[in-house]
Amino acid sequence: MTQVALPLIRKLALSFRLSTEESEAIAQLPFHIRDVPGDFAIVSDGDRPTQCVMIVEGFACRYKILGEGKRQIFSFHIPGDIPDLQSLHLEVMDHSLATVMPSRIATLQHDPLRAFLRAHPRIADAFWRDTLIDAAIFREWMASVARRDASSRVAHLLCELYIRIQAIGRTTDHTYELPLTQEELADALGLSTVHVNRTLQELRAEGLIRSGKRTVAILDWARLREVADFDPAYLHFRSPIPTP
Out of a copy of itself, DNA, none, which partner does residue 143 contact, by CB within 5 to 8 A per kind?
a copy of itself
Q: Contact positions toward DNA, by CB under 7 A?
A: 149-151, 181-183, 190-195, 197-198, 200-201, 213
Q: Name the nearest CA neighbour of 103 among 120, 81, 121.
A: 81
Contact between 236 and a copy of itself per CB under 8 A: yes
Amino acid at site 21: E
Q: Alpha-carbon distance 57 to 28, whole Å?
A: 19
Of the candidates 69, 2, 74, which has an alpha carbon nearest to the alpha carbon of residue 33?
2
Which residues, 6+ apart, have CB-to-CB distance to 143 below 8 Å?
none
Three-state DSSP class for residue 28: coil
- Segment near a copy of itself (CB under 8 A); pick from 48-56, 174-182, 196-204, 230-238: 230-238
Closest to DNA by CB, 28 vs 201, is 201
Is residue 221 near a copy of itself by the rule CB under 8 A? no
Q: Is 38 a residue that touches a copy of itself (CB under 8 A)?
A: no
- Binding track over 145-184 against a copy of itself, x by CB under 8 A: xxxx------------------------------------
Contact call for residues 8 and 32 (beta carbons, < 8 A): no
Give yes or no for residue 124 binding a copy of itself (CB under 8 A): yes
Residue 234 binds which of DNA, a copy of itself, none (CB < 5-8 A, kind-dependent): a copy of itself
To the nearest 10 degrees (0 to 180), the angle between helices 221-228 and 150-167 is 120
**Quick check: 22 binds a copy of itself (CB under 8 A)?**
no
